[in-house]
Amino acid sequence: MNVNEIKGIGEKTEKLFNKLGVFQVSDLLTLYPRDYDVFRDAITISQIDNEAVAAVEVKLHSKPVLRASAKYKIVSALVTDVNGDKIQCVWYNMPFLAKTLLLDEVYIFRGRFRRDKVGKIIKLEHPDVYTVEKYSEKLSTMQPIYPLTHGLTNNMVIKAIKQVFSEGIDFSAYDYLTESLMDKFNLISYGRAMEQVHFPEDMDSVIKARKRLCFDEFLIFTLALRYMKEKTGDISNSYIIHTSPETEEFIDSLDFNLTSAQMKVLREINEDMESPTQMNRLIQGDVGSGKTIIAIIALLNTGFAGFQGALMAPTEVLAVQHYENISELIRKHNINLSVGLLTGSMTAADKREMYAMIEDGSVNIVIGTHALIQEKVKYKNLALVITDEQHRFGVNQRRTLQDKGYNPHIIVMSATPIPRTLAIILYGDLDISVIDELPSNRLPIKNCVVTMDYRPKAYDFISKQVKEGRQVYVICPMVEASESIEACDVISYAKNLKENLDPNINVEYLHGKMKGQIKNSIMDQFGKGEIDVLVSTTVIEVGVNVPNATVMMIENAERFGLAALHQLRGRVGRGKYQSYCIFVSGSKSKDKLERLDILNKSNDGFYIASCDLKLRGPGEMFGIRQSGDLVFKIGDIYGDSDMLKLAYEFARQLEDEKISLPEDKYNILQNKINRYISIASKTVNL
C-alpha cells in the first residue's frame, strides 16, 4: 500500500515523505522515533542542565510586558522559582498572555532554555503554560519525535501513523515468532512492539518494543547474509599471486618498519592469494594503524604478477590522495608499474583515455571513486579489488566492481574498531584481519574533556595553534539550528567563530547536504592549508589525510557514541606535530562526563569500542543517531549488542533445526529475508 493512500496525505505531503525514504505504509511504520518528549517533574532554575526542554514551577515576579516588533507581538515576563532564582520568559504572537498571566498564581512553564556562547542560561523561550493541576495530568506521558524534512511537521507524521493504526492492521500476519518462542526469548509480539515504539505507555514499554524490533532487524540481516554466502560458496582462485621479490624489496626500502600487526595481516593476505580459493578479507584497523600501506603492497604485488588491481574510495578527495601517495611511492622506489586515476569530475576526453588504458592493460593499478564501476569501464585482467572505508558502499556497488573481473580477490577496509565477537557476526561472509597496533613514530594525542564554559580558553588555544601554522577541525552534531534539538550547528557556529577569532584566521564550514563538488573543493582547500579552521559535521569522518591538522574540537560530544568520537579524533595526530582533541560536553551531568573521560584516558580504539559496548544501553539510543559500519533503522551494534548476539544464536539454532517454525511462520520470515536481500542489493550498506 502506497503512502499516498493514507487519508490526509496528498501529492505535496507524499513527496515530503518520499524524501525520508517513505514510499509504502511499511516504510512509514519503520520510520521510528528518534526521541521522545517526556513530561517530567518540574525542577528549579538552578537544576537545569542541558535539557532541550524542561519544566519549572514559578510565579511572576512582575507584570508581563507586551511590545511589538516588525514581525511579532512579544510578551515578556520575569519569573521566580521557590529558591528566588529568576529567569526571563518570552512568547511570540501570544498577546493575550499579557492579561491572562496573574501575579499570585503558581504556574508550570515548560519550554526551551536559550543560552549564550559560553552556555549560560539567558531566557526561557516560548514556554507552554500550565496550572499545577493540568501539568500533573501530563506527567510521564511520552510523545514521539520523528526524523523530519523541511515542510514536514512532527504532527503530520503522528497523524499519518495514527491513521494507519486506526485502520486495524493485522500485525500477526507479519510476525514469524510463535507464542512459545516469544516466551523462550523474552520478546513481545511484533504488533505490540510497533504500537509501543510509536505510542508508548512508558519507557519500559519503549525498551521492550526496541528489543523486539532490534532482534527482528538483526535476525533478518544475519539470515540474509548467510543465504548470500551459501549462494556464492567458496570460489576457486582464478589469480594465483605469489609474493614477488620486487614487493619484498619495496617493503625493505620503506622509510619505516611495518608493525608486527601489519606484518601478520600481510602474511594472511599473501596466504589467501596463493590459496586454492578466492580471497574475501576484511582489514579492520584503528585510525592511523596503517591499513593503506598494506593495501598498496597488495596492489603492487598484484601488478608485479601481471594483473590489475583497483582501489575504490568513497570520496573524490580521498581517491586523489590515494593516487598521489601511490604515484609518489612508485616514483621514489623506481617501480615499473603504472597508476591511473578515474573520478566523476574528470573531463570526457580524460575519461576516454583512461578507459582505453584500463582496457588494454597499460594501467596496472586503478584508483577511483564510483566511476570505477561505470558500464564503460572494462578491465583487462582485474585480479584484486579493494574498497576503502567499506561501509560507505552499498552491497551492489561492491559487487559491481567485483563483477568487472572474473572472481577477483577482495579486500574491504574499515577504520571502525568493532569487538571481534560482533565483527564475526556482522561480517560473516568475510575473513577478518585486525591491525591492533599503531606505528611507533606516532605521538599520542593529548585529550581533554570540558564543559561549554571552557570555550573562550579553547578559542585562545585554537588561535595560538593557527599562528604556529597548524590547522583545526571543529565538529558540530547539526547542520543548521533546530527547534527540537538543543545542540551546536555548523552554519551558526562557523559564523560565531569568525566573530570570535582573529579576522586573519580563515574559517569555513562543511556538511553533508552540500553538493559534492563544493565539498570536494573545501576539503581540497583544507588539505592544501588554505583554510585554517574547518567547522564540520561528521562528514569529515572519512576525509583527506591532513598531517598539519593538530586540533580536533568536538561540540556536544555527549551526543556521539564513543566509537564515533574516536573515529573523529583520528583526523588529527597524523603528522610530526603534537595533536590535541577537545571534547566539549553540553551537559555537566556526572555520568556523561565520566563516559567521555574514557576518551580522555585512552587512544586505543578497540578498548574504547569495548567500553562503548558496556556503557551504552537502549535508553541512550533516543537522540541523534550516528552512522556506524552498518545502517540499521533502529538497532545499534553497540547499544543493542545483546540483541545482535541473541539473533545470531537464534539463526544458528534455526539452521541446526534446534528451533522449528510452523510453515506459515516460516514463510513470513522467508518473505522478510527475500525483501531484505532485494533492497540490500540496491541501497543497504553492509
pLDDT in tens, 497-506: 998 899 999 9
Residues 204, 319, single domain; the answer is no
Same domain membership, residue 287 and residue 229: no
pLDDT of 628 reads 37
Asked which of 547, 575, 602 is the last residue of a domain, the reply is 602
Strands 280-285, 382-387: pairing kind: unpaired
Q: Is the pLDDT of residue 620 over 50?
A: no
**Separation between Cα atoms, residue 343 and residue 321, nearest integer Å:** 12
Residue 434 CB neighbour total at 10 angstroms: 20
Is residue 310 located within the same domain as residue 368? yes
User: CA-CA distance, 653 to 264, in Å (whole number)?
Assistant: 34
28 falls within a domain: no
Measured distance CA(559)–CA(586) in Å, rounded: 9
Residue 287 belongs to a domain with what CATH number? 3.40.50.300
Higher pLDDT, 548 or 373: 548
Q: Are both 578 and 507 inside the same structural domain? A: yes
Close Cβ partners of 14 (under 8 Å, ≥ 6 residues apart): 3, 4
Judge whether 473 lies within some domain: yes
Q: Alpha helices of 501-640 — where are they, by DSSP H? A: 516-527, 562-569, 590-601, 605-615
- Domain containing residue 68: CATH number: 2.40.50.140
How many folded domains does the chain comprise? 4
Same domain for 421 and 277, yes or no, is yes
pLDDT in tens, 120-150: 677 888 899 999 999 998 887 888 989 888 8
Do the beta carbons of residue 149 and residue 20 sit within 8 Å?
yes
Highest-pLDDT range among 15-29, 474-488, 541-555? 15-29
Half-sphere exposure of 606 (CA within 13 A, CB side): 16
471 and 327 part of one domain: no
φ and ψ of 113, to 5 deg = -95, 120
Mean pLDDT of the chain: 85
Q: At 208, list the grid cell.
A: 521492550
Residue range of the domain that includes 556: 446-602
In this structure, are 351 and 273 located in the same domain?
yes
Q: Please tell me the pTM assigned to this model.
A: 0.67
Q: Is 45 helix (H, G, I), strand (E, B) or coil?
A: helix
Q: Is the pLDDT of residue 391 over 60?
A: no
Helix (H, G, I), strand (E, B) or coil at 263: helix
Q: What percent of the chain has pLDDT over 70?
A: 89
CA 296, 300, 302, 303: dihedral to nearest 10 degrees? 140
Q: Hey, how many other C-beta atoms are within 10 angstroms of the C-beta on 493?
A: 21
**In whole angstroms, what is the distance from residue 427 CA to residue 228 CA?**
12
Question: For residue 579, which of 437, 497, 416, 461 has the smallest C-alpha distance?
Answer: 461
Torsion sign (Cα): 550, 529, 523, 575:
negative
State residue 308 phi and psi, 5-degree precision: -105, 150
Write out the H or E segment, with its range, that includes residue 473: strand 471-475
| Band of residue 393 on the pLDDT scale cut at 50, 70, 90 | very low
Residue from 412, 434, 411 nearest 421 by CA: 434
CA distance 475 to 583: 10
Residues 416 and 563 in one domain: no
Three-state DSSP class for residue 242 = coil
Which residues, 6+ apart, have CB-to-CB distance to 627 below 8 Å? Answer: 391, 538
Residue of 36, 4, 24 whose CA lies nearest to 204: 36
CA torsion, ordered 239, 243, 246, 249, to nearest 10 deg:
160
On whether residue 152 sits in a domain, the answer given is no
Q: If you search the block for the grid coordinates 570520496, which residue do you land on?
A: 315
- CA–CA distance, 89 with 268 (Å, rounded to integer): 65
Backbone φ and ψ for 476, nearest 5 degrees, come out as -120, 145
Q: If pLDDT is split at 50, 70 and 90, which confidence band does 615 have?
A: low
Q: What is the DSSP string of 635-667?
A: --TTTTHHHHHHHHHHHHHHHTTSS---HHHHH
Q: How does pLDDT run across 271-302, given as a tens digit for each residue?
A: 999 999 989 888 988 777 889 999 999 999 99
Length of the chain: 686
- If asked whether residues 661 and 560 sit together in one domain, one would say no
Question: 244: closest CA among 300, 174, 203, 202?
Answer: 300
**Average pLDDT of 51-77?**
87
| Domain end marker among 116, 139, 162 | 139
Which of 14-18, 260-264, 303-307, 401-405 is least confident? 401-405
Task: Give a yes or no: residue 135 inside a domain.
Answer: yes
- Is 22 a member of any domain? no
Binned at pLDDT 50, 70 and 90, residue 308 comes out as: very high
Q: How many CB atoms lie within 10 A of CB 328?
A: 11
My answer on whether 187 and 299 are in the same domain is no
Within a domain: residue 384?
A: yes
Does residue 89 lie in a domain region? yes
The per-residue pLDDT for 616 is 54
Rounded distance, CA 201 to CA 195, Å?
Answer: 10
Q: Is 393 left (phi over 0), alpha (psi -120 to 50) or beta?
A: beta
Radius of gyration of the chain (CA): 28
Distance, CA of 9 to CA of 21 (rounded, Å):
15
- Cell readout for 7 is 487519508
Q: Are residues 651 and 591 in the same domain?
A: no
Q: Quick one: DSSP state of residue 127? A: E
List, in order, residues 6 or more apart from 561 with CB less than 8 Å away: 612, 616, 626, 628, 636, 638
410, 452: one domain: no
In-domain check, residue 157: no
Per-residue confidence (pLDDT) for residue 439, from 0 to 100? 77
Mean pLDDT of 381-405: 69
- Point out the domain boundary residue: 410, 435, 460: 435
- With cell 614487493, the residue in question is 247
